[in-house]
Amino acid sequence: MSVTHDEVLKIARLAEVDVSPEALPLLAEQMSRILDYVAQINSVPASEGVKPFVPGPDAVRFRVDEVKPWPLAFGPAKLAPVFRDGFFLVPKLGQFEQEEG
Amino acid sequence: MNDPSEALASAKAAADRVVKTKRLNACLTGPKDLRKSLVAQAQAAHPSGVLYGMPVAVKDNIATLDFPTTCGSKILEGYRSPYEATAVVKLRAAGALITGKTNCDEFAMGSSTEHSAYGRTLHPFDKTRVPGGSSGGSAALVAAGVVPAALGSETGGSVRQPASLCGVVGIKPTYGRVSRYGLVAFGSSLDQIGVLGRSVHDAARVLSVISGRDPKDSTCEDRDPLRLPTVPESLQGFVIGIPKEYFPADLDPAVRRACDRVIRLFREQGAAVREVSLPHTSFAVATYYILAPAEASSNLARYDGARYGPRFDGATDVRALYRATRGQGFGAEVRRRILIGTYVLSSGYYDAYYRKAQQMRALIAQDFRNAFDRGVDLLFTPTTPTAAFKAGEKLADPVAMYLSDIFTVTANLAGLPAISLPIGRAKGLPLGGQFIGQAFLEDELIEAAYALERVVPATTEA
């Protein structure tokens, strides 16, 4: 199986990844090789009765549904240019209106 | 060790060793930050902890508060996690000293630690060779004697393969034995934190500390931490299976000789040895390289320049921003795997690839159950098909690189525990052999590994 350049670009759009025109030929060639290799699993007869294997506990344990403070990597003061008394300081709305007018 | 002055000396000595082995590019943490953190950790650690004063390095895809967590990627350059992985929290509680973050293949995708945005890690015995991967930095630090143990992570063999190539011990626990909370997700149904150690005992005692239930990870089993077995006198009573599919006719002769020597030792040590068959083994790598990229394409969707790490600006709209950030932020191997994963999950290909691979995974897991149902306690196989290969040798051919995981991926697909330990040398380079055990019977694995470690000529030519 061979993956065309257009198919690679379509998949890249779906995956939200830019692919440069220079990288495209090698990427298409390598993807084709990988997909050819993995396609060997289709040589095993269809096993419709086989249930997918899922590792881990038989049943998912849920946590207690409660609101907890979520830690931040940085304090909120680092996220905004101006921060005082626990509030982000922003221009007054009137200023925007004047600028627009 | 329970003397604070000894812990402080241990911290400073570990910092010195990291500096001395800088050329390996195994540790991503800067020496000044590391020394400062180690000293603070030694002063804060409680002397009653079972790992008090023990330096333990941590792979860079495991979240820590003290150091950035970059996953070896440019897309997470400088990223600091707001929380710490459960495994790291448990290590700290036991008095261990977190000795920096170790280099790895980007997002743990690779088998050579050449796919790190921060440069490749060198093999500690031969700088022209790779240490394996993706936990190559952890393996190199342990092999170089910098730390007695390090955390790594496994999705397809990323602890055992570098352990084998570097001549150290690597344990991959049963899926669900160790919490994945704080382990950056790659293939969530396969990922597990594992341990690399200079001996079975060092690796096992770190594993026993990080194992056990965690309400923060619903895939972590509700079990007590692992209890370490005693060192046995022999292998009397063990039935060890030798899967014939792991010894193909074209197996590297040195690997075969080393394994044959181990099998003779099993018999001398009183174990019963039986040939077994795991008939779907040859499809394991193909199955893995469908499922793992599929899961990765979903897990890595979150790195879009809006929430984590740097963003690559100049985009005209938000989707262009995502594409530019992901296109420039991810390295070639990660991009390739995201595209493969997106491809196999896309309309028209899902049944032929992803669904079929799920069925193959069930058949591979059933192979193991059949072998264990026939009275086999453990399986023994080579860990890797060859000793450490040359840097750059497999970079242009991803399939050749993927095949270096051929003997390790099966345990990940089946969720089983496995341990690799050194069993000999080939032209001076280490070779590893692995035991694969039944789910949650790590104690049996460790017991057998203790017995083998005592008698195997690990540093002599095979």
Is B297 noted as a catalytic residue in this protein? Answer: no
pLDDT of residue A98: 61
- Greatest CA span in chain B, whole angstroms? 71
Give the pairing type, strands A87-88 and A83-84.
Answer: antiparallel
Residues of B in contact with A33 (CB under 8 A): 397-399
> Taking the CA of residue A58 as centre, how many other CA atoms within 13 Å lie in the half-sphere pointing to its CB?
0
What local confidence, expressed as pLDDT, does residue A48 receive? 66
Q: Which residues contact B260 (CB under 8 A, 6 or more apart)?
A: none
A63 and B361 within 8 Å at the Cβ level: the answer is no
Q: Which among B81, B116, B134, B297 is annotated as catalytic?
A: B134
Contact assignment for B362 to A3 by CB distance below 8 Å: no
Condensed to tens digits (0 to 9), the pLDDT of residues B319-334 reads: 899 999 999 999 999 9
Please, how many CA atoms are within 13 Å of residue B235, restricted to the half-sphere of its CB?
A: 28
Q: Are B408 and B288 in contact (CB under 8 A)?
A: no
**Average pLDDT over every residue of B138-157:** 98
Dihedral over Cα of B335, B339, B340, B345: its sign: positive
* Complete domains list, chain A, with CATH: 5-43 (1.10.20)
Closest CB from B189, B328, B362 relative to A50:
B362
Q: What is the mean pLDDT of residues A39-62?
A: 79
Residue B156: name the closest of B421, B455, B411, B457 by CA.
B411
Identity of the residue numbered B194:
G
Q: B428: which DSSP letter?
A: T
Chain B residues in contact with A37 (beta carbon < 8 A): 285-286, 289, 399, 402
CA distance B197 to B390: 24
d(CA B365, nearest CA chain A) in Å = 8
pLDDT tens digits, B198-219: 999 999 999 999 999 999 999 9
pLDDT at B356 over 80: yes
Tell me which H or E stretch contains B421.
Answer: strand B418-426
Question: Are B336 and A31 inside 8 Å of each other by CB?
Answer: yes
> Which of A15, A52, A60 lies closest to B338 in CB terms?
A15
Q: Are B59 and B152 in contact (CB under 8 A)?
A: yes
Per the CB < 8 Å rule, is A62 touching B414?
A: no
**Chain B residues in contact with A51 (beta carbon < 8 A):** 362
Q: Going from the N-terminus, what domains does chain B have, and what CATH number goes with each? A: 4-210 (3.90.1300.10), 239-280+366-441 (3.40.190), 285-351 (no CATH)
The pTM for the full model equals 0.93
Classify strands B97-102 and A87-88 as parallel, antiparallel or unpaired. Answer: unpaired
Mark yes or no for CB contact B304/A27 under 8 Å: no
Confidence of residue A96 (pLDDT cuts 50, 70, 90): low
Residue with the larger pLDDT of the pair A70 and B113: B113
In the chain, the amino acid numbered B261 is R
pLDDT: which is higher, A11 or B348: A11
- Give the H/E segment covering residue B380: strand B378-382
Is B198 within 8 Å of B453 (Cβ atoms)? Answer: no
Task: With a cut of 80, say whether residue A95 has pLDDT above it.
Answer: no
Q: Has residue B391 got a pLDDT over 90?
A: yes
Tokens of B364: 């591979």
Torsion over CA: A7, A13, A18, A21 (sign): positive
Q: Is the pLDDT of residue B351 over 90?
A: no
Residue B100 in contact with residue B151, Cβ under 8 Å?
no
CA angle B112, B118, B122 (to 5 degrees): 45
pLDDT average, residue stretch B429-435: 98
C-alpha span between B57 and B77 (Å, rounded):
19
Q: CB distance from B356 to chain A under 8 Å?
A: yes
Phi, psi dihedral angles at B294 (to 5 degrees): -60, -45
Confidence of residue A47 (pLDDT cuts 50, 70, 90): low
pLDDT digits 0-9 by tens, B239-284:
999 999 999 999 999 999 999 999 999 999 999 999 999 999 999 9
Provide the pLDDT for residue B461: 94
d(CA B10, CA A100): 65
